[in-house]
Each structure stands twice: as structure tokens, then as C-alpha cells.
Amino acid sequence: MKEFNLEEYIMHHVLNSQEWRLPFLPVIQLPEFLSLHGLMLLICAAILITLFCVLYNHKRDVPTGLTNLLESFVVFIRDEIAVSCLGKEDGRRMTPLFCTFFFFILSLNLMGLVPIFSTATANINVTAGLAFITLNFMIFGAIYKNGLRGFLSALTPSGVPVPILILLVPIEILGLFIKASALTIRLFANMLAGHIVIFALLGLIVVLGAVALPAIGMAVFIYLLEVLVAFLQAYIFTLLSAMFIGQMYHPHH
Amino acid sequence: MEKKFLPAFSLGLNMAVGMAVFSFLGIWADRKWGGENGWFTLAGIFLGLLYGGYEVWKIIKLNNDLDDQKKQ
């Protein structure tokens, strides 16, 4: 019998690959241009399009059921995240972006908890792509809104002597990239860590035998915690994106 | 959540990533320009610390300004 390798077992479940394993079915080999996490992104996009274009009921004046649930999230994002960080006018204009961020990340996170799917947000390339959108709004969105002069004035803190500005302005410019990197790492690390813990606990049963059966209870606990983390990380990513974009759009408020 | 607490929310990881970025830039510069004693790495770590301190200063200044506005 082949010796059980715990590290290989964990990494096989959390890393990207070219094959999709479904229960009771032969392994599906994915084409070269599409990895497993890429496929998850497409499935997630399809789910969201179905949710908002097909199942969402536009016709009724008073929303009920699923429409009500989705609307409560949208209103929360508009009022508590977009408008509170960007002001009424910009906030309402930017709400579609933040709704997209929130629902896309939330769906990817929750899909990672369903056994037949994989967690695309535990891939640093996916989170970096999302943070890159925020970075573009922080730089080019701010230039579009305030002009180049306004953008540069956002990078110079008020009430600081000129010699210190020589040091602070480069740090402030690098700070833009640091903030985007922090966004990337925050989502990626949180999603990856939770899944590694679950698989490590389940792997203990194979390594230690029946003695480690309580690990199942622990794994279920971490799994439930992951449901909370899925919502929390989607919220935090959206909130921090809104805050960083708001800081660049309205620098002296 | 009160608006003034928002920036503090991301402070921890921003400081950590800031230090890591500046340190890696320093390591890269040491390899490229051959600073044998690791001066660029040390400078990178120092800049990272400075960045962290600067972020804290900005949050304190923002909160002070908001408090002053409230009093007026």
C-alpha cells in the first residue's frame, strides 16, 4: 500500500490543478487554457448571472423571497459601505462595483465550502486580480475625478514641511501598492488557512487512526467558522476597497 | 461602524506588508548592487518601520481632526 503523505493530501485539495474530481464520476481533464480555479470563476459568474438576471424578480413592487434577500445585501452595501466611504453622489455611482466585489467574492468563498468545487479565492492570482481593480480605481479613478494635480495633492499630507515631503511622497506612492498587496494577502491567506486547517484535521484520522476521531468534530467546527469567514472576508474586502478608493477620491476628508 | 475607526481596521496588515515590501526591496537591491553588509536590507527594514509609523500618525491626525470638527 502506498504510504499516506499528509502534506500531499492537503496541498492536493487546496492548490490549483488541471483536473476536476467529482464523486462517482471519472476525473475530468481540463483543457490547457483553463485551470480548476479558472473554471470555478466561470461557474461563479454563471451562478451570479442566473441569480440576478433570471431569478431576481423585477416586476413586483414589494420584494419577497430571494429577491428580498438579494436586495437587503445590495442596500447594505450601498448605504453602509459605498455611501459611508465615498459620500452620497460617488457612493451611489460606485455601488455596482462594490456589489460585484461582494457577491463575486462571497460566492467564490461559499463555493469553496461545497465538496465538488474548489476555492478560487485561496489562489493568490485571483485575489491579486481583484485587488488590481481596486488599485486602478485608486490611481486612474482618482486622476479621472480630481485631475493629475488633485491626485498628487492626495499624496502630499497637509501641514508637513517640504524637506520631510521628499521622504513622505515616495512612501505614500509605495503605500498605494502596499495597500493593494495587503488586500490581496488578507483574502488569500484567510481562505487558504481555513481550508488547510480542515484538511489537516481530517488527515489526522488517517495518520493516527481511530484515536483521532474527535478531529471530525473539530473539522466541523472549523467548517462552520469558515462559513462566517466567507461572509466576513467578502465584507472586509469590499469595505477596505471602498475606504481606499474613498481616501483617494476625497483626500482631505 | 464609526467612520474614524475604519482606517485602523487595516492598519496591522498594512504595516506588516509594508515592512515586508521594503525589506524585499532592500534584499533585491543588496543582490543587485552587492551591498556586502546588507545595508540596503537594513535601510529597507527602517523604511518599512517608518511607513508603519507614518500610517499610525495619519490615523491619529485624522481622528484628531474629526474630533476638532465635532467640538466646533
What's this model's pTM, rounded to 2 decimal places?
A: 0.88
Q: Which residues contact B51 (CB under 8 A, 6 or more apart)?
A: A171, A174, A175, A178, B15, B18, B19, B22
CA distance B21 to chain A (A): 7
The answer to whether residue B3 scores a pLDDT higher than 70 is no
Mutate to test the interface with B, among A165, A171, A245, A250 (most CBs of B within 10 A): A171
ipTM above 0.90, yes or no: no
DSSP A55-90: IS--S-SS--HHHHHHHHHHHHIIIIIIIHHH-HHH
* B42-57 tens-digit pLDDT: 888 888 888 888 888 8
CA distance B18 to chain A (A): 6
In whole angstroms, what is the distance from residue B50 CA to residue A163 CA?
Answer: 16
Tell how far CA A188 is from the center of its chain: 8
Mutate to test the interface with A, among B19, B24, B54, B62 (most CBs of A within 10 A): B54
Q: Residue A28: helix, strand or coil by DSSP?
A: strand
In whole angstroms, what is the distance from residue A168 CA to residue B67 CA?
Answer: 25
Q: Which of A157, A182, A240 is opposite residue B58, by nearest beta carbon?
A: A157
Give pLDDT tens digits along chain A (253 positions).
567 788 888 888 888 888 888 888 888 888 888 889 999 999 999 999 999 888 887 777 777 788 888 889 999 999 999 998 888 888 899 999 999 999 999 999 999 999 888 899 999 999 999 999 999 999 999 999 988 888 888 888 777 788 888 888 888 888 899 999 999 999 999 999 999 999 999 888 888 888 888 889 999 999 999 999 999 999 999 999 999 999 889 876 5
Q: Which chain A residues are Cβ-neighbours of B46 within 8 angstroms?
A: none
So what's the pLDDT on residue A136? 95
Nearest CA in chain B to A156: B58
Do residues A164 and A99 touch, judged by C-beta distance below 8 A? no
In whole angstroms, what is the distance from residue A232 CA to residue A240 CA?
Answer: 12
Q: Which chain B residues are Cβ-neighbours of A232 within 8 angstroms?
A: none
Q: Which DSSP state fits A31?
A: P
Mean pLDDT score of chain B: 82
